[in-house]
Amino acid sequence: MKPPMFSVTTSGNKAQQYIHRARMFRNAAINLPDYFNGEQYWPKYALLTHAIELALKAFADHSVQSGKPPGKEPKQHDLCSWYRLALEYGLLDTPGVAENIEILNDLHLTHYTRYPQERASAVPDASVIADSTVDHLIFVFTQSINPR
């Protein structure tokens, strides 16, 4: 596919741009396998955990724009802290999501999905939770960020 003749300018506010980018990372992962040669297919989970991070940042940014006082911005890549901030901003805590984010946070924060590392504990099976968690967050946040 050829690049566009004219550059595309971004549209929407920052929260909308974050959620749009989260959808792009999600879409890039959608057709990738969960496993390859008996090992989790880490590029898929790197894309999915980054989509979660972007979705959480979208919700936080939208909440601040909506008049809620800004909370202390969490450290980059810390999905658990971004999720807690979203809860402070009024996100309903759906059963299981916090636990899923905690598992995925360990993989995302330590960059395990991007670089081989020795681990003292077993590597969790991200295929069971990553897709459903990112889909849930993008859906819920889209309802508030892009209401129709």
Determine, yes or no, domain membership for 3.
Answer: no
* Rounded Cα distance, 87 and 59, in Å: 10
d(CA 98, CA 82): 11
The model's pTM? 0.88
Other CB atoms closer than 10 Å to residue 139's CB: what's the count? 10
Inside any domain, residue 34: yes
Q: What is the mean pLDDT of residues 53-80?
A: 90
For the chain, give the mean pLDDT.
88
CATH code of 35's domain: 1.20.120
pLDDT tens digit string along 78-135? 999 999 999 999 999 999 999 999 989 988 888 777 888 887 777 778 888 999 999 9
**DSSP designation for 36:** E
Q: In the chain, where does DSSP find H-type helix?
A: 14-29, 42-65, 79-88, 97-109, 130-145
Question: Considering the domain boundaries, does residue 46 fall inside one?
Answer: yes
Residue 8 lies in a domain: no
Residue 5 lies in a domain: no
Contact predicate 93/87, CB 8 Å: yes
Domain that holds residue 83: 14-145
